[in-house]
Amino acid sequence: MEKDVKELKSYKLIEAIAKVMDKYYVDPLLGLVPTLGDAVTSLLTLPYLYFSVFKLRSIPLTLALLCNMLIDLAMGVIPFWIGDILDFFNHSYIKNYRLITGYVEGDEEMIKSVDRRAWWMAVMIAVLCLLIWLLIKFAVWAWDWLIGLF
């Protein structure tokens, strides 16, 4: 299975996205564009989710990928460029690529670890969604307050 899966266009796409977004720091640079940058970077995680759901058919892996994406998004919406600075250190695309590679290569230890944490990932996703909503509300309030000073 490993060789066949690695030849798929979708696998090559996620490999390329990880390289461009994290190794060349395109993710934090796009994050400098308010709102639009975070939206674009979040959309670029869709191939990872597609691969996990439709090619590997793993719900625990999909939850782990989604959790990493939401952590990256939560950091990105922290206002005043703090989130963008944090984004330079959080390589979520490489983390997600390594998770997928572990599944493709049959890394039993990594697969068991992801499977064991699946329930907690689901809880984390709910918490992160709430946190992102609160961070967005705070960011809007903070920018309105800052603009009101001038």
- Reported as a pLDDT band with limits 50, 70 and 90, residue 111 is very high
Helices (H) and strands (E) in the chain, counts: 10, 0
| CB-based contacts of 83, cutoff 8 Å, min separation 6 | 31, 75, 76, 77
pLDDT value at residue 1: 55
- Reported as a pLDDT band with limits 50, 70 and 90, residue 38 is confident
Q: Measured between alpha carbons, how far apart are the two ends of the chain, in Å?
A: 60
- Joined tokens for residue 23: 């190794």
Mean of pLDDT over the chain: 92
Compare 35 and 76 and report the one with higher pLDDT.
76
- Reported as a pLDDT band with limits 50, 70 and 90, residue 2 is low
**Predicted TM-score (pTM) of this structure:** 0.87
CA distances from 36 to 29, 31, 66 (A): 12, 8, 19
Whole-number Å distance between alpha carbons of 45 and 14: 8
